[in-house]
Structure 1
Amino acid sequence: MSIELRHLRCFLAVAEESSVTRAAARLGLTQPSVSRALAALEQHLAVRLVDRSTHHLELTAEGRAFRDKAAVAVTAFDEALDAGRLPHRPLRLGHAWSALGPYTTPLLRRWRSEHPDTALELLRIDDRTAGLARGEVDAAVLRGPVDTPGLATELLFTEPRIAAVPSDGPLAARASLALADLAACPLVLNTVSGLTTLDLWPPEIRPTATVTVANTDDWLTAIAAGRGVGASVASTAQMHAHRGVTYRPLSDAPHAPVFLAWRSTSPHPAVRQLVALARKVAGTG
């Protein structure tokens, strides 16, 4: 049996809804037809994409890897059919948090002035590639190493790291902090879209306790509640003020690179203009 686009659409709907029933309702299909499409796709690939052994349907490791490839393929197909309107469709710019920091508003304002025929939509998506690998956006602001296959990148600037500590704690009274100052506290890590990992610390002073969260809002809440401390970049302090969180320079941590990324195949026709303008706004173009 040959695989068609409908098989990919069914799989992506199941992946996003975590339910065959909801996926069928979303696609306007019957539940058996979606199940058959999913089974046919698994048979064709000779891998199990969905774990049906739990009460809640979940993707397998192979399913998660295939989801990104399927999303790119479906997006490319849809864009090809809409080629006549590509120059004027919105340019979707994803970010996981803080966007371009202080350069965000200048970029949006200048884009609107210089490219009035193409709207620039800024979307926060809690994902390591801010929705880019899944085809939810056309370009994304990414911090740290970018190793996702199929993405092209442009380094825009680097920014200093900062510590985030509870405002009522002793570390908030310090003018600046070092990595060792944070090592004795539980470290709050955004493991879904965050930049910081334990590898930021040398092995001999690495924090031994961690608190994991899934987005920036929960990261801030955990720190403000005194559950731990965090490390991020300067833009976080500028874009995410919180009265329960005090930001301090992190003196001995390396600066973090900030990239503009896009899919190397079938990019939005305005991506190159976005790269050029982002470089100008950030002072690197």
Structure 2
Amino acid sequence: MADSDVELRHLRAFVSVARHRSFTHAAEELAVTQPALSRTIRQLESAMRVTLLERSSRHVELTSVGKLFLDQVERVLGELDRAFAVARKQVSIRLGFSWLLPDPWAQNTVTRFERVAGSTVNLVRSDDPLAAVQQRKIDVAVVRGRVESASVRVVHLFDEPRVAVCSNCSALAGQARLDWADVPNWPLVVNIVSGTTGPWCWARGDGPKTIIETTNFDEWIESVAADRGIGIVPDVAQRRAIHSGVTFVPLVGAPPIPVSLVFLPRVQEALMRQFVEAALGALGD
């Protein structure tokens, strides 16, 4: 074995043994067996043609050459770790959403992921986040409602309750509640691109008779505020005060809205695995 064959694993193994003054403790730290660790150190010494460690049945000590080498290796590995950290920060996950991310789950997920992965999350609003994932404009999306696409992976996170929203001028604004069974009696404003409630929520012929179609959140909320019809949204909207011209009304008996992560398989697999783990871990926060 020549100097050119020395790998990072040899250097990290040497530093661990040198710090612990023990093959046993170093093997535990590196999650390798003692025989494997001993072979790695012997390979390093053979490549360098020097003895770095004096071994006895009770002690492991650095030779004079080993002490000098340790100082240099620790400096080099420190610089290398800092370089890795800088490079990781340049790698990011683009998280897409159509409107109002669920809270506090979204904030906790970003914090967890950035702490563990050392990478960043860029938030990208998209009228159609599912399409944006499929077109690789974003890496992962928070999608509400059922996802019917075989081209993406879907990880269900949780279900959100629904709430009714209407114009301050609407007759519904004065009611204490609205039953899901009574929703078809009202004109319904629907975001046909990424909305969570529409004619598809009812059996054919049982849904609202009047549908006002919009194609993004801004059109949808302004149409509701203008009293073109009522809307049905996740209850996160009520907590976030989305518009001063609308009133929220408790909705009774409505099916919840599934919330999922959607991403392409085999794209940034390691990073995406870490993001999904952070997202699932944040459910308990």
TM-score, normalisation: structure 2: 0.64
Equivalent-residue separation in structure 2 for 1:239 and 1:264 (angstroms): 33
Task: Give the % identical residues.
Answer: 32
Query: RMSD across aligned C-alpha pairs, in angstroms?
Result: 2.2
| Alignment match, 1:212 | 213
| Alignment match, 1:131 | 132
- Higher radius of gyration, 1 or 2: 2
Q: What amino acid sits opposite 2:175 in the alignment? A: R
Equivalent-residue separation in structure 2 for 1:268 and 1:211 (angstroms): 41
C-alpha distance after superposition, 1:227-275 (max 9, x if no partner)? 1111121223334521111222321111111111110132353111111
Pairwise mapping of residues 1-285 of structure 1 onto structure 2 (< 5 A)? 88-115=90-117, 117-127=118-128, 129=130, 131-203=132-204, 205-239=206-240, 241-283=242-284
- Specify the SS of the correspondent of 1:132: helix
Superposition deviation, residue 91 in structure 1:
0.6
Superposition deviation, residue 147 in structure 1:
1.5
Which is further off, 138-147 or 86-95? 86-95
Equivalent-residue separation in structure 1 for 2:267 and 2:114 (angstroms): 23
Q: What amino acid sits opposite 1:166 in the alignment? A: S
Equivalent-residue separation in structure 2 for 1:87 and 1:150 (angstroms): 29
Q: What amino acid sits opposite 1:91 in the alignment? A: I
Equivalent-residue separation in structure 2 for 1:226 and 1:92 (angstroms): 36
Superposition deviation, residue 216 in structure 1:
0.8
Q: Provide structure 2 residue ranges, at least 5 long, that are not aligned to the other structure.
A: 1-86
Superposition deviation, residue 87 in structure 1:
8.4
Q: What amino acid sits opposite 1:244 in the alignment? A: G
Equivalent residues of 1:165, 1:229 under 8 A apart? yes
Which is further off, 244-253 or 150-159? 244-253
Q: What amino acid sits opposite 1:185 in the alignment? A: W
Equivalent-residue separation in structure 1 for 2:174 and 2:153 (angstroms): 42
Q: What amino acid sits opposite 1:242 in the alignment? A: H
Equivalent-residue separation in structure 2 for 1:101 and 1:189 (angstroms): 23
